[in-house]
Amino acid sequence: MQWYWIVLIVVTALLVIATIALYFIGKKAEKRKVEQDKMVAEASQNVSLLIIDKKKMKLKDAGLPPAVLAQTPWYLKGTKAPIVKVKIGPNIMTLLCAPEIYDTVPVKKEVKAVVSGLYLTQIKGTFGKKEAAPSKLSFMQKLRRKISKSR
């Protein structure tokens, strides 16, 4: 048997083992995510708040309480997270925002929201004038617009 066949068999075996390992790790992570979502849903409450500012910034620069930073794994402390600065009653707080609703959070507006601890999970409704959300253009739409402007 020639050497490249042995290398090919070893590489294939390693890929199969890695695929099986990632499958089981993914199943375990999915179960953990479901449990965490249940805990967040149990602790959630509806709150009326004024959104002052929103940014994507590092957790250590966001001004979160030291207890939050202590519980954060070391590899996540440097990553950028969606942060929302809000006023709840007389208090100004910094909240973490769910990434899927970050783009829909209006700035300098009063909103009804679902908050679970320091985590903003959902925007229920906004007060005041509604602004039209800017729609993103697809690649083809941008290309057609450039062509029509050049004529």
What tens digit of pLDDT does each residue of 6-49 get?
999 999 999 999 999 999 999 999 999 999 989 988 989 999 99
Confidence at residue 134, expressed as pLDDT on a 0 to 100 scale: 61
Give per-residue pLDDT as tens, 88-124.
989 999 999 999 999 989 999 999 999 998 899 999 8
Residue 56 pLDDT grade (very low, low, confident, very high; cuts 50, 70, 90): very high
What is the CATH classification number for the domain harbouring 57? Answer: 2.40.50.660
DSSP state string for 30-73: HHHHHHHHHHHHHT-EEEEEEEEEEEEEEGGGTT--HHHHHHS-
Separation between Cα atoms, residue 55 and residue 76, nearest integer Å: 17
Nearest CA-CA partner of 117 in 75, 77, 64, 81: 64
CB 68 within 8 A of CB 59: yes
Confidence at residue 133, expressed as pLDDT on a 0 to 100 scale: 57
Confidence at residue 65, expressed as pLDDT on a 0 to 100 scale: 86
Judge if 49 and 32 occupy the same domain.
Answer: no
pTM (whole model) above 0.85:
no
Residues in Cβ contact with 119 at an 8 Å cutoff, skipping those fewer than 6 apart: 40, 95, 96, 97, 98
Average pLDDT, the chain: 89
Confidence at residue 49, expressed as pLDDT on a 0 to 100 scale: 92
Q: Is residue 133 part of a domain?
A: no
Confidence at residue 81, expressed as pLDDT on a 0 to 100 scale: 92
For the chain, counts of helices (H) and of strands (E) = 3, 5
Judge if 54 and 71 occupy the same domain.
Answer: yes
Separation between Cα atoms, residue 94 and residue 87, nearest integer Å: 9
Domain count, the chain: 2
Judge if 34 and 52 occupy the same domain.
Answer: no
pLDDT at 74 over 80: yes
Q: Is residue 107 part of a domain?
A: yes
